[in-house]
Amino acid sequence: MIDNKKVKIHVKNNHGRPGTFPSDLEGEKNFTITKEHIDKALEKEPQIKKKVDFFIDWDEENFSSSISNSEILLTYDFPTNNLEKIAPDLKWIHCTAAGVEHISPFQWAPDKLIITNSSGVHAKKAGEYGLMSVLMLQNHMPKIITNQKKKNFVSLFSNPVAGKNIVLLGTGSLGSSMAKLVEPLGANIIGVNKKGKPVDGCSKIITIDKLDSVLPDADILYLALPETSETINLIDKKRLNLLKPSCGIVNIGRQSVLDYEVLCEKLNKKEIAGAILDVFTPEPIESSSKLWHTPNLIITPHVSSDDNGNYVKMTLDLFVKNLKLFIENKELVNQIDKNLGY
């Protein structure tokens, strides 16, 4: 960076509307980055504040003109077509989400362009949602809610979660935050990742090639995976058939990881005990979707990991930490591997 030259940062917010992110006005209120948010985030970094110039925009109203001389883009999404040509000065993009599948594959991105995400910002809220969903499945809540709709008063007794096998697919910040809260209750959490890397809260770690060996004994299958070429349809009909009828499923990662069509069939046939789903394509779910009418299924509207009122603050805290590193020409945290897609 040249001395005395301010770093220009383009902030692109999105209006809430179906089929985009955020998908409604409540989401727009929760995820919009304002000048007040930025000023607050920079309070502890007055020297950084002097060196940057923020331009806050909506959707693509002024995108082409503003991005033309911006070095940094702070946003959830953006038009990738022709980006290298219209933004020749762009050096770094920070995605305000953890998942980046909506801007992948990354053929559009120049080799030197740095892309970071907000992984870790979601952890505390996601951990509590994970604890809640595990306990709900263990206590038959999907079935109890289905019975309530039918006015069926049926006693469904359960055991503590201690000793139960939870297979955790996705041991990043979202999955591990659940493990750290559930493991102290005595659950046996089997983490699954590519390299067999140890994870706090997991009783055991296996590599992805051994996944099929642990699915038959799973009491709960917990999915917290991003969407990549390797994770799409990972839990297909073949793997769903490996699960015992008493098994429950949670998905807070991406819909593409799990075959929802087959899941609905198995829930209807009572070949899966229950499921809690938080992620869908598209969002909101279409009114004609069979998900609305599938028994023993709880739908939450993509709220598992977004901390109401604090999400923007935590995102900007991470961004400002990286902004300081950027200005000091140091390596940024949370960098995306463009080849892996996460």
Domains and CATH numbers, the chain: 7-121+307-327 (3.40.50.720), 123-299 (3.40.50.720)
Q: What is the pLDDT of residue 3?
A: 55
> What is the overall mean pLDDT for the chain?
95
Q: What is the pLDDT of residue 60?
A: 85
Mean pLDDT of 247-254: 98
Q: Please say if the pLDDT value at position 19 is more than 90.
A: no
Going by pLDDT thresholds of 50, 70 and 90, the confidence category of residue 66 is confident
pTM of the full predicted structure? 0.90
Going by pLDDT thresholds of 50, 70 and 90, the confidence category of residue 1 is very low
% of the chain with per-residue pLDDT over 70: 99
Q: Please say if the pLDDT value at position 158 is more than 50.
A: yes
CB 168 within 8 A of CB 190: yes
Q: What is the pLDDT of residues 179-215, one digit of tens each?
A: 999 999 999 999 999 999 999 999 999 999 999 999 9
Q: Please say if the pLDDT value at position 2 is more than 50.
A: no
Q: What is the pLDDT of residues 77-134, one digit of tens each?
A: 999 988 999 999 999 999 999 999 999 999 999 999 999 999 999 899 999 999 999 9
61 vs 80: which has the higher pLDDT: 80
Q: Please say if the pLDDT value at position 305 is more than 60.
A: yes
- 315-338: buried (b, 16+ CB within 10 Å) or exposed (e) per residue? bbebbbebbeebeeeeebebebeb
DSSP-derived secondary structure for 239-295:
HHTTS-TT-EEEE-S-GGGB-HHHHHHHHHTTSS-EEEE---SSSSPPTT-GGGG-T
